[in-house]
Amino acid sequence: MKAGIAVLEYFRKIGVDKVFGIPAGSLNVIYDGLNDYPDIVPIITKHEGAAGYMAAAYAKYSKHIAVAAGSSGPGATNLITGAANAMREHQPVLFITGAVPMSTVGFNASQELDVSPLFAPITKYSKRVERAEDLVPEIDKAVRFALDGVPGPVHIAIPLNVQNGQVEPEFPEEPIRFNPPATDMAAVKKAVQEMKKRKTGLLFAGQGVRGMVPEVMMLSELLGWPVVCTPVAKGLFKDTHPHFAGIYGFAGHESTTQLVQEGSFETLVVLGSSLGETATSNYNANLAKDRFVIHADIDEKIFNRKYPADLSVLGDLNDVLPKFIRELRQLGASPKTAEISYNAAPLKAGEDFTTKNAMLKLQELLPEKTRYAIDITETEAYVIHDMNTVSYDAFDINVHFGAMGSGLSTGIAAKLADPERPTVTITGDGCFYMHGMEILTAKEYNIPILFIVMNNARLGLVYHGHNLQFKRTHTTFSTKPFSIADMAEGMDIPNARIESLEDLNQETIDRLMQQDGPALLEIVLVDDNPPPMGDRVKFLSGFGE
């Protein structure tokens, strides 16, 4: 068979069921072959960048390696941002790109570009395969790299003549599975001993605890220590748990900031956080000052960067947390109550037509189990700060890499991976103009997702950031008002345009949420209040430098 078809056979054997991307001449063999593999669905996006974001989100929610594809040259370079995002998010994505035939390399062939060196810094493995017989082995090698140790993206460039080459492939018998680093048991035991002998402490949880929240809370109860989480972990912890003390970092709660920075805790136990800028309130030194720091994570590269750890514990939190609990119990620990003052009472929408009130009212009207994919807009600060977590894994907020428009694709992929869960994307007009045409991808595949567009006719985060830092903004940060609902109408997509809080009602939400495909809700609102960005406001205002 052709080597390109052998790749599809390999995908079928390892359980790949979707390929996100855009077909092109340099991928003709693979995309033509998909006609004969009905169990592998090509999700044809409107931009390769969106395909990369979708693949990363699909990997996250399906718990399986995902595939994104693009042409040689521009298609491949469009995928690079998606690869960088997947690398930052530790998501296992195989990026495959077409490439010109090897016989034309160096002769200025159409769309010629050797992209393997470009992908190398933002993937775990990147290679151009130059012989047909090497293609399946290299794909298999890349997939195993993606799942080994810290999960992450990989890239294989496939010249057209390699795809067409005849091979008799041998498919590996060894199963494909995640292979996290072995847990450092000596460090686990030492960490538990240190936790047990200290009277006070704080558990600081990042998105690395996804799927392990009950274990985090059990650890909290055995120690009697409160839990705070980072912005990207919002949605993992219900606000009503008596040991949960809110969100720290970008747009975090004021009471949580005070608790973390001024609380008299002897110990800081970091669980699954890389302690980046948004998680640490601009690298605030008070997070770890005068505290014994224990840092547990799957990625040893993040230890002792900005915050030196007194004790590092390497391992997958899925293994580390149960071991923490078992060792504590063996030392005689029993559940106790943590004393915290965090007020988790759900906020109610006020009467003024503000971003905060619009978000709170939306949550009142949408189903309780709704998953929210949040784009990179000023609205994300209100989501982090004001919206409550009433169901598990309720928010997907990518403030790590922060790619505008990525939330649109994340929502689509999350719905594909978890079709029974109500899903909405909250985005802004700036993000929508970047990747909003993916709403047509949702339409063509009958994906029932609600796109909520906060339209203030400006780049909101930029506008507020410049106002805070420079006391002025450039006129070009704002745009002429434009009806996105009218655009949706032209695409025959159900829609509504909201211009007052009274217009935002149950009848409208129910109509849009009960569609067989996507719907769009445009909220036309200019809010000049600075978003609740916490210490970020002080930083931009010049007080936190």
Among 272, 270, 174, CA closest to 225 = 270
The set of residues, in sequence order, having a beta carbon less than 8 Å from that of 438 and lying 6+ positions away, is 45, 46, 47, 50, 408, 409, 412
Domain ranges of the chain: 3-164, 185-330, 355-541
What is the CA 22 to chain-centroid distance, rounded?
A: 22
Least confident window among 10-19, 55-64, 463-472, 516-525: 463-472
Give the C-alpha separation, 170 to 172, whole Å: 7
The three-state secondary structure class of 314 is strand
The set of residues, in sequence order, having a beta carbon less than 8 Å from that of 514 and lying 6+ positions away, is none
H or E element that contains 244: strand 244-247
CATH superfamily name and code, 3-164: Thiamin diphosphate (ThDP)-binding fold, Pyr/PP domains (3.40.50.970)
Q: Determine what percent of the chain is predicted with pLDDT higher than 70.
A: 96
- Summarize the confidence of residues 305-334 as an average pLDDT: 97
CA dihedral 478, 494, 416, 250 (to 10 degrees): 30
User: pLDDT for 232-277, tens place per residue?
Assistant: 999 999 988 899 999 999 999 889 999 999 999 999 999 999 999 9
CATH superfamily name and code, 185-330: TPP-binding domain (3.40.50.1220)
On the question of pLDDT at 75 being above 80, the answer is yes
* Type of residue at 400: H
pLDDT given for residue 540 in this prediction: 55
Among 397, 404, 465, CA closest to 432 = 404
- Averaged confidence pLDDT in the chain: 93
On the question of pLDDT at 108 being above 90, the answer is no
Give the C-alpha separation, 302 to 170, whole Å: 38
The three-state secondary structure class of 455 is strand
Answer whether CATH 3.40.50.970 is correct for domain 355-541.
yes
Q: Residue for token digits 């928010």? A: 395
Where does the pLDDT of residue 152 fall: very low under 50, low under 70, confident under 90, or very high at 90 and above?
very high
Among 12, 308, 18, CA closest to 136 = 12
